[in-house]
Structure 1
Amino acid sequence: MSAGTVAVVVTEEIGLPTWELYELSIPLTVFGKPQPDLSEHWYDMRLCSVDAAEAPGAADSGGPGGVGGGVGISLRTPYGLDGLVGADTVVVTSVPDPCVEEGEPLPPGLADALRRAHEAGSRMVSLCTGAFALAEAGLLDGRRATAHWMHTAQLAARYPEVTVDDSVLYVDDGDVLTSAGLTAGLDLCLHLVRRDLGAHVANQLARRMVVPAHRPGGQAQFVDLSVPATDDEGLGPVLAWARAHLDRPLTVDDLARRAAMSPRTLYRRIQAATGTTPLQWLLNQRLVRAQGLLESTDLPVERIGELSGLGTANNLRHHFLKQVGVSPGDYRRAFFSRRAA
């Protein structure tokens, strides 16, 4: 007896490095291999290409349903988009890069097929930039959702009806679920197994895959907090000076004096150059310094708080939990490098 049918959408031809084979492997590994000793009920898999009858590379892949690329990789998909309708769960992996970066249209028929599958009762799941496909189909309107942190700003700007959360590994909104980038897709797929078959099965499956059954925190711990590139040459020296003196109790007035500007002018210039306020920029730099020290040294948290200018260990923990989403200790366990230390 099946735990349900999972239809995975292949949205473009496979040709590294333009296609993320890794993300496709996640649902195939989690749902595609029966685990009879864990559960007598497992999933039936459908691999569906955008157009199985005329898929890109079909001619050189041996027949209908082939999806091929220029690096010797060929994939046969016996189902087209019609195979999504009637599936219990539909998983959309990353859409083609131009659809995200340039706003080019999705592959023909994809958004309509996703809408029809949802209307027929399918649970909809996106991994990474697959959220753009769900959003284009209107399935994220009025919902909370996420995607890879590098693309959440684009998702929010292009689809203002979606409440985008870039701090989490995945969002479970009942019948529509979205994950952050790459390995966060594994977190979400294991969560689905937990929902469907129970915590014991999900935990044992995670153990077999040699991954944690549940990771603490969210994708905020992976976000680059450093200052964006700026063409404002006048600010460069003062920002570099501030980064070199983060262990001091710096203020906006200190930076303004260093830059020979009024505090108001400095505020305006920093906001225009970095997209944030001077105080938030300073906080981000202090967190970047703390992250680097946690990754590369075994200094106690109290000392890292002092060197980064965040003060006490309690203050460091407060800002880490708020901005990064995990405690300094959890961050160090995830990213510490003994070689760097």
Structure 2
Amino acid sequence: MAAASYGDVTVVVDEQDDLFYTRAALEAHCPAEGRITVHPTPASSSPAALAHDLLYALGKRLAPGPGSPDVWLDSVAAAWLAAAAWAQATGVRHVVVPRAHLLTLQRIDRLLAWRAATGVQLTLLWQRTAKKLPPALSQVERRLSGQGQFMALLAEPGPMPARPSFPPVSLMPPKPDPKAVVFAGQSSVRLPQDARSTSTAADRQARPCAGAMATAHLSHAAPAVHVAPENAAILSALAHPLIAGALSVLAFTRVSLGSLRSTRDLDIIGDVSVIKIHATTHRSCTVYAVPDWARPLLAAARAHHRLEGHPSGSGVLAPVMRSAAQHLRAHAERILWLELTVAANVLVS
């Protein structure tokens, strides 16, 4: 066995297909420590199969059957984008892929591009002669040998993910200038008298509603509605970040479905502990505490939004309520305890 590193990619050449290395890779799987082992589906012709394998390793489950609400993840770009968003949101730092020699050149290229987008460390078990390495994997600089060195490689924490989207909870965000926070008529939060007196009708029309960071300083967050652990687990297993994010917000706030259309990136506080939900006229916008189980789901929705290059003032969940509304509706109808069937039917297909 020999191993070689090229940037943050390590190729472990196990020409003898020693069971030790496969077993060690399987035992290394520990999402809580930011390390996952991905099993490529054998003999799959689906272009998005490897991205689906990544989602599965991250604990996500695609809905089965014909007409599945997850059919849009059959698209290669959509599946890899979802996998990148979940990896960033959940703090994945090291990905191990056994039997990488069975991957096509196209899937290897996709995997390397995904690694570049997420910033993770990638270790590939190449269980074939090194002479068969494709050009993308043959440019290596450092060689290792021995079982001990392989175990040490698995024990390394790995680099911090690129553009992390789910930072630890902070004690308190920096205090903003109260006069620049929000204006009368745009939120349920009341400002000091001197700030309100300077507000004009023109200000109310021209200035956008303040984001969650500013509003959270002026109002206590509404408590989240309790969601049973088994129900939270159902939502956490949803594969698409926007679907998981949208339905989780509906579960712990019980707001109307249409209220999510205006939720922007800046309405989700940096540590994903608070979210602001807008009213139609912005006169009764409310900030909600985000329960621990829902924070990774909202972080993934925000990461998805950012990976697509959207500005912070645009709607994070808006795409799933427009072009992909039928998928959101289908999932809502499957999860009966959400009691969203009637509300979901107002979404256009």
TM-score by length of 2: 0.23
The answer to which structure, 1 or 2, has the higher relative contact order (CA under 8 A, 6+ apart) is 2
